[in-house]
Chain A
């Protein structure tokens, strides 16, 4: 299997608080990797580092065998067409409409006409059950809709890797299912993804492999197949959380 992203001996501290002490893992092409762990274990930190929003104190990050943790901000910019990040709260530009939010990355990175961009945006919105929302502003959308618009915006450039930061956090069951379905649809296409979540049902439904972050590093890893074995230590963890 081809390794798309590789994190090796990742260290990160904020002040005196050590968040990661030598976290290492690989992400293979086409898989959806779930990152589980308690609050403050640094799940989002590692996701932010993978897209260049945080720099590791020590350790290395490779994207398609290219060292990326030392890249400058301007060197990162072209790579961000390939690695998309879906923010926990959507992080939509509140002064722009939904259509303008979706157009933003295409206007920056492509030479498509406004008509082509609009068509593409509406197609993606419809795929995510966001019919007739293109002229609304983020404050006119529900939390679940904002997250789906955030997801739609990150998919506009057809990235190779999608990083989901708690996509179902704080959502009602209906919106959770909608997001899960959207991610499942993506998994069936060419996307490789990492999903940071607290929500076990989402992780079990969407991911191919699950990793548990504990004590500042990756403690356990298992594929969904391996988790069918009830004696697997990660199964015990999941059962404990679900209870």
Chain B
């Protein structure tokens, strides 16, 4: 049992190490100008634009539900006017980046792992190498760049939609004035708080894309292996999102505490 656990930890850190290598190589190739623009735009369409319906539904329903929960919960203590501030802070700092990343881990991560895994099984990755190209340049780099461009934009859209839906529920169900709602958001959220969530989305893009490519590259048992790689990429991506979220939040508050001195 102990050995199994040790092995799992070993493979987890091995995966993180190889993911770092993949990201470094991708960045180097990008700066060398070797990545074709159309490959990146294709991936932005696939990763960013095609994720919009899923992200929109998630954002709107989250905005509805959370506003209702906060509003009705705080009403007993006379805290209804705090709903816009609470919603704005939680959306910008946590809900938008984390929910966007989790939805993308399921949709984008699974997609990347299955495509790369299928290419591995059908020897297309070997064919790329044999024809004198690099699979990292051809497969990983365009997807990574597309994720790094798409995730922050999707996070902004999620924030916007979640707050709009929150405003709708606040007005119709809680009886708050929409202008008051807007005023509260503007007066509560600072730029630092806004950027903290925005910055997270870059790290989450790495957490989703790199494990998906890694597991795709390491498929071994044919189509069964592709399914396994897809599952692993979603699970690992989600875990990495939660772990990195904790550390980034902690770091944010340490920085804020330093500023107080």
Contacts and interface: CB of A to CB of B under 8 A. Distances in A.
A93 B123 contact: no
A91 B127 contact: yes
Contacts, number: 49
A221 B109 CA distance: 50
A105 B131 contact: yes
Interface in A73-131: 73-74, 76-78, 80-81, 84-85, 87, 89, 91-94, 104-105, 108-109
A84 B130 contact: yes
A92 B124 CA distance: 7
Given A89-B122, A91-B122, A108 B132 contact: yes
26 contacts: A53-B126, A74-B134, A76-B129, A77-B132, A77-B134, A78-B132, A80-B130, A80-B131, A80-B132, A85-B126, A87-B130, A89-B122, A89-B123, A91-B122, A91-B123, A91-B124, A91-B126, A92-B124, A92-B127, A94-B122, A94-B124, A104-B131, A104-B133, A105-B131, A153-B131, A154-B130
Interface of B: 122-124, 126-127, 129-134
B140 to A, nearest CB: 14
A81 B127 contact: no
B130 A108 contact: no
Contacts of A104: 131, 133
A159 B109 CA distance: 38
Interface centre among B126, B129, B132 (most CB of A within 10 A): B132
A173 B122 CA distance: 24
A210 interface: no
A58 to B, nearest CB: 23
B116 to A, nearest CB: 12
A226 B132 CA distance: 38
A51 interface: yes
B122 A51 contact: no
Contact of A53 (B122, B124, B130, B134): B130
Interface in A41-84: 48, 51-53, 73-74, 76-78, 80-81, 84
Contacts of A77: 132-134
A101 to B, nearest CB: 9
Contacts of B127: 87, 91-93
Main secondary structure of the interface of B (DSSP, over half): loop
Contacts of B124: 91-94
Nearest to B132: A80
Nearest to A85: B130
B134 A73 contact: yes
Contacts of B123: 87, 89, 91
A53 B125 CA distance: 11
Given A87-B127, A93-B127, A109 B122 contact: no
Given A51-B130, A81-B132, 10 more contacts: A73-B134, A76-B129, A77-B134, A80-B130, A87-B127, A87-B130, A89-B122, A91-B126, A108-B131, A108-B132
State the 9 A-B residue pairs at the shortest beta-carbon distance, nearest first: A91-B123, A91-B127, A80-B132, A85-B130, A105-B131, A77-B132, A87-B123, A108-B133, A91-B124
A109 B132 contact: yes
A53 B122 CA distance: 15
Contacts of A52: 129
A105 B134 CA distance: 12
A151 B240 CA distance: 43
Contacts of A89: 122-123
Contacts of B132: 77-78, 80-81, 105, 108-109
Contacts of A105: 131-132
A64 B173 CA distance: 80
Nearest to B42: A95
A14 to B, nearest CB: 12
B129 A73 contact: yes
Contacts of B133: 77, 104, 108
A107 to B, nearest CB: 9
Contacts of A94: 122, 124
A87 B131 contact: no
B174 to A, nearest CB: 50
A53 B129 contact: yes
Contacts of A92: 124, 127
Contacts of A51: 130
Contacts of B130: 51, 53, 80, 84-85, 87, 154
